[in-house]
Amino acid sequence: MLNPDSLGRTFHGAESVSVTQSEIQGFASVIGETDFSVAPPTFSIRITLEQSQSLLSDPSVGLDWSRVVHGDQKFEIFRPIVAGDQLRCSSTIENYKVAAGNEIVTVRSDLHSGEELVVSTWSTLVVRA
């Protein structure tokens, strides 16, 4: 079960992640996008999935990632990600409830380039009972 103290806590990634042209091209190609000048709208999941999981895997959080199913996903894109961006991830447990024995956790992950907020994402995770 989630530790109640985790609710509202923000976990900051220690290091920034560099975005390369080949990563953007690889992601774009899969969906048939031929414009590689900016990242596709959902590209940031490549960064936030791993980063948020790593940030929220601390045993003190109490989130069992082995039983997590992805429920909802939302992206707010303030500007497109481009090659050369150095993005730092911070993740916050914004909401938590228990329904039918399942834990439902909403994790917000923000990607910053320096002081600039580039993308905010919300992932609703269902931890199956």
Partner 1 sequence: MIEVGTVIPERIFWINRELLKRYADASGDQNPIHQNETFAKSVGLPDVIAHGMLTMALVGKFVSDWAGGASAVKEISGRFTKPVIVGAGADVDLTVSGIVSEVNKSTVRLDLTATSAGVKVLGISKALVARS
Q: Which residues bind partner 1 (CB under 8 A)?
A: 23, 26-27, 29-33, 35, 38-42, 45-46, 49-50, 70-78, 80, 122, 124
Pick the closer one to partner 1 by CB: 32 or 59: 32
Pick the closer one to partner 1 by CB: 2 or 28: 28
Provide the minimum distance between the beta carbon of 118 and partner 1 in the complex, in angstroms, as a whole number: 12
H or E element at residue 50:
helix 45-55
Provide the minimum distance between the beta carbon of 114 and partner 1 in the complex, in angstroms, as a whole number: 20
Q: Rounded to a whole number, what is the largest CA-CA distance in the chain?
A: 45
How many CB atoms are located within 10 Å of the residue 122 CB? Answer: 16
Find out whether 122 and 48 touch, Cβ atoms under 8 Å: no
E strands of 14-60, at which residues?
17-18
Pick the closer one to partner 1 by CB: 5 or 50: 50
